[in-house]
Structures are given as structure tokens and as C-alpha cells.
Amino acid sequence: MIKKVLLNFVVICCMIISQRARGQTVADDTTIQRAALANITDTYNHAIGQQSRLYNGPEYTLYNPTIKGNAYFTDINTFVIGTVTYDGIFYKNVPMMYDLYIDIVAVRLYNNFSIFTLLNERMQSFDLLNHHFIYIKSDSLSAKAGLGTGFYDQLYNGDIEVLVKRSKEIQSNSGTSGIETYFTTLSRRFYLKKANSYYSISGEGALLNMLKDKKKELQQYIKINKIKFKKTPEEAMVAIVTQYDKLSR
């Protein structure tokens, strides 16, 4: 069955691209090809249903409801539609939740009941709630900056890359009614990738030191635009690094 679907997929792909491309300019041809491939991929993913390569991970178990709070990105503990690139294949309209405690993505099957865990090492990236997450496998360079293997929110991707690692933990305390277990508030760690090297960023000072060749100009930019790093560190880092890229061109 899988072989038959794959064969049909290839045949349809070639036919549509060939037919749509006739009589078009190079720019139009490229646009049509991309649209055709996207539509065919959606049809293919839907056709193979539960046999899709996206649903080959272990079953995901929801947390005990007695644990206060939740483990999920932006504290949304329901499935939200997102996209994912898995084994090099792009999937859209995927119901998913991002578990910050164990750093995995849980997806809901077509039957709206079964929940599976995507295998991290086979994911290249995913998009959820207007955030783009990329998978980084720790090596000797990233380890020096404290980057472990896992998913990082890519806040900015220019000549310099801005990343944030989000996580939660579980803690237990003795309360009036016994032991209370709860998820901690969100923890964030910021990183910069510059010239193929990663750097941990602890604050505005550390960021400006990494961009010291434009430090004076950036300090003036921060003052004029009233950027408050401590109050909104993510927005501040993106604004400062974006300005640095502009000044460097």
C-alpha cells in the first residue's frame, strides 16, 4: 500500500509541475512548482494517514492532573495547530503541544484521540504560536556556551542568530494538605551564534560586549529607542542584534 501511494505521489507531482509550468516565466514557474509540491505533499500526508512517518514515535502520556500548573509552552495545555519538518518532510496543520519539562513535541493523531511523541533527533524544526523552534545537537563548540541538545526558540536569524532555551521543572513542597507538586515558572536562557560560535548571554552588558565593534552606536540606539533589556529581554535582544546587522552592512 505504501509503495503504491509513493508511486502515485511521484507521478502526480511530475504531471502537475509539467502542466502548470508551460508558458510561464521563470519566476512564475518557480512559484507554481512550490505551490504544486505543497499541495501534493498535503494530499500524500492525508492519504497515508496513520502510516505517516510523522506518527512513528512512542505514545505520549499526559501528566497527573494533581500536579499544579502545566509543562507546556505559553502554559497552553491543549493542542494547537502548528507545522513541523520531520525527516526532511514538511508537515502543516499538525495538532501539537510543546512539553518544556522533557523537551519534546506531542502530536495528536487523525482520530483526535491517540497522542504520540515525535522523535527529537528526527526533527529539524517546528513552528508553534508564532515561534520557530530549531533542533540543535550539542557538540564541542555549543557545549562551551552551555547549549545542550534540544529545541531552541530562534528569535532572530540574520548574520547573527539569537536563541532562547525555554524549560520548566517539577518541584514538591510540604503544604497544609500534604505534599504539593507543581511545575515551576518558565526558565529562559539566551544565546548568540556569531561566526559559527555560540555564546551565552546573561544580560545587556554581555550582549554589547559580544557586539563591541558597534558598541557605542548600539548604546545610542538603545537610549534613543528606550529599550529596556531587563523588562523585555527577548524583544530587546532582537532589536539590538537587528540594528547591529544593519550597521555592519
pLDDT tens sequence for the chain (249 residues): 444 444 444 444 445 444 544 445 444 555 565 555 555 556 555 555 555 778 888 999 999 999 999 999 999 999 999 999 999 999 999 999 999 999 999 999 876 778 999 999 999 999 999 999 999 998 877 777 889 999 999 999 999 999 999 999 999 988 777 788 999 999 999 999 998 899 999 999 999 999 999 999 999 999 999 999 999 999 999 999 999 999 998
At residue 88, what are phi and psi to the nearest 5 degrees?
80, 0
At residue 84, what are phi and psi to the nearest 5 degrees?
-150, 140
Residue 144: what pLDDT? 78
Q: Is the dihedral of CA 237, 240, 244, 246 positive or negative?
A: positive
Closest by alpha carbon to 57, among 96, 24, 16, 17?
A: 96
**Contact of 152 with 165, CB cutoff 8 Å:** yes
The single residue listed with the C-alpha cell 552588558 is 205
Residue at 9: amino acid letter? F
**Contact of 84 with 106, CB cutoff 8 Å:** no
Residue 178: what pLDDT? 79
Polymer length in residues for the chain: 249
Question: What DSSP string runs through 15-50?
Answer: HHHHHHHTT--HHHHHHHHHHHHHHHHHHHHHHHGG
